[in-house]
Amino acid sequence: MQRTLSYGMGSLCLLFCGCFWLYWVIHTSYMSSKSTAGNTIEGVAYINGETSIGRIDDDFVCATLDWWPPEKCDYGRCSWGRASILNLDLNNFILLNAIKAFSPLKIRLGGTLQNKVIYETEGNGQQCNSFVKNNSELLGFSQGCLSMSRWDELNLFFKKTGAVVVFGLNELSGKTIDNRGAAVGPWNSSDTESLIRYSVRKGYTIHGWELGNELSGNGIGTEVSADQYASDIDSLQNIVQNIYAGFEVKPLVIAPGGFFDANWFSEFIKKTPKSLQVVTFHIYSLGPGVGDHLVDMILDPSSLDSVSHTFSSLQSILKSSGTRAVAWVGEAGGAYNSGHNLVTNAFVFSLWYLDQLGMASSFDTKTYCRQSLIGGNYGLLDTSSFAPNPDYYSALLWHRLMGNNVLSTNFRGTKKIRAYAHCSKKMQGITLLLINLDGTTTVQVYISTENDTSISTSTSQESQNPRTKFATMSSGSKIGNGTREEYHLTAKDRNLHSQTVLLNGQILTVVSSGAIPSLDPINVNQSDPVTVAPFSVVFVQIPYSNLSACS
């Protein structure tokens, strides 16, 4: 009787458990097909903590403010509104708080029209007018003017927000356009000298003065030869040294803020060994904003990798030239002509943007300026509402978590995972960035600080099952016990075109006062793999003391 009852209860239990298991499988399969429609694989992130491969500035994350007036339109869409340096609402609480949250944010003031800007300073004798659209003129607009009252307002704003300011100067001043369309003649520096003297008298702190915008190589609208540009930079360096004589810290002299052309850059850098502190170049690797395949390019690892040649070529030039100058990305919006609505201002662009930050760092690029802070279809902030777009939160997390020292990082398991690691910024240990370009596959990521060179000849079977090789590593090479902090970024409803981002499942949005929300991590057991959902980004902050690169 007892045996029969036990058997019956066991059968009921098995039946109940079987039903529950079946329900769970069906429910999980349904939810998986609805949200991720895919499978789970494993991979290993190998981080070499012995030496750093690069070092970035504390304020590596930089954003731009541009000159474009509301009349700037591309492909029938006018996306700039009142985001210009000349008319931006500097009293907007969201804007103020968004910049303050970085503490500090480096801001580059510049763009195409900077080469048509005059400055309303003493003695220039010119009327201070705004830009007017005129297709018959160079760059499609008339000359514009920065009044000193607006310059005062801007500098008060920068002081209030704690921003680090880089100002782009007019390199075309004094030049004429020859019959080949090139800008020739020496730079007329009188306007710039008046602006700098005024700024010093007012006590304004400028981190760097950048000469010119997109005039290197073939240039945009016109071009300046490398030889003439080098001569102009010597003039700017002399002005800075003279006006800031006696200052313990002088502003950086920066140029050329153009698209990379190896021959032009090589000649320019060779001729400015002492007068140039920063070499800037621009990146719009996705082509025109009107392109139909932008998302496909963002999700294609080979497309992302194609930009690495530019980074490596510039570093080779810098190392071989003997210059003291370092490399910055001075402007990068991905897709030129103001970007593409619901792509370059949506969640999908964080996959490109964060990969760019990681790649630039790994090639010892010191600063990366995003086009734009606000304006166009690629702003970190929405042009109309000032509300942060997804990339704002991606940038803020990078800024707070990724420290100066860059670590060599390799991922084995799938090409769709992009992995980058730095020493952590405000704690001992490392921060790992994982980007999943796959929309159907969850990846369970194991982490090792053992160099993976020993497994470079692994068989294809081992490569497909990286955990097998990981399990054979010495225990000392694995991340230890305890907990780690994770920050998971996903799009609302898993929609790549969403402008709403979730952090660890919670929607990020500013409160009514305009305050930026806190970015809080989840704590995860150190022995568990990192779960990287389809089309997601994960920052993993790992306390780890045994890394010589981070000591």
Say what the alpha-carbon torsion angle 269, 272, 273, 275 is, to the nearest 10 degrees. Answer: -130
How many degrees, rounded to 5, is the angle at CA 344 between CA 303 and CA 341?
Answer: 130
Q: Among 331, 450, 485, 486, which one carries the catalytic annotation?
A: 331
Active site residue 462: no
Q: Are 280 and 210 in contact (CB under 8 A)?
A: yes
The backbone torsions φ and ψ at residue 285, rounded to the nearest 5 degrees and listed phi first, read -70, -15
SS3 state of residue 280: strand
- DSSP for 223-237, please give it: ---HHHHHHHHHHHH
Q: Are 70 and 78 in contact (CB under 8 A)?
A: yes
Cis peptide before 104 (omega within 30 of 0): yes
Q: Is 545 left (phi over 0), alpha (psi -120 to 50) or beta?
A: alpha
SS3 state of residue 309: helix
Q: Are 279 and 289 in contact (CB under 8 A)?
A: no
What is the 3-state composition of the chain as percent helix, strand, coil, each rounded to the nearest 5? 30, 25, 40
Active site residue 214: yes
459-493: burial string, b at 16+ Cβ within 10 Å, e else: eeeeeebbbebbeebeeeebbeeeebbbbbbbbee
The backbone torsions φ and ψ at residue 349, rounded to the nearest 5 degrees and listed phi first, read -75, -20
Q: Are 50 and 451 in contact (CB under 8 A)?
A: yes
Question: Using the 8-state DSSP alphabet, how is residue 310 labeled?
Answer: H
If we measure between CA atoms, which residue out of 533, 539, 529, 418 comes closest to residue 470? Answer: 529
Residue with tokens 């309303």: 120
Q: Among 120, 171, 214, 267, which one carries the catalytic annotation?
A: 214
- Dihedral of CA 371/374/375/376: which sign? positive
- DSSP for 475-530, please give it: GGGB--SSEEEEEEEEEGGG-TT-S-EEETTEE----TT-PPPP---EEEETTSPE
Distance CA 380, CA 136 (A): 32
Strands (E), 171-222: 176-177, 183-184, 208-211
- DSSP for 3-45, please give it: HHHHHHHHHHHHHHHHHHHHHHHHHHHHHHHHHT-SEEEEEEE
Q: Which residues are catalytic?
A: 214, 331
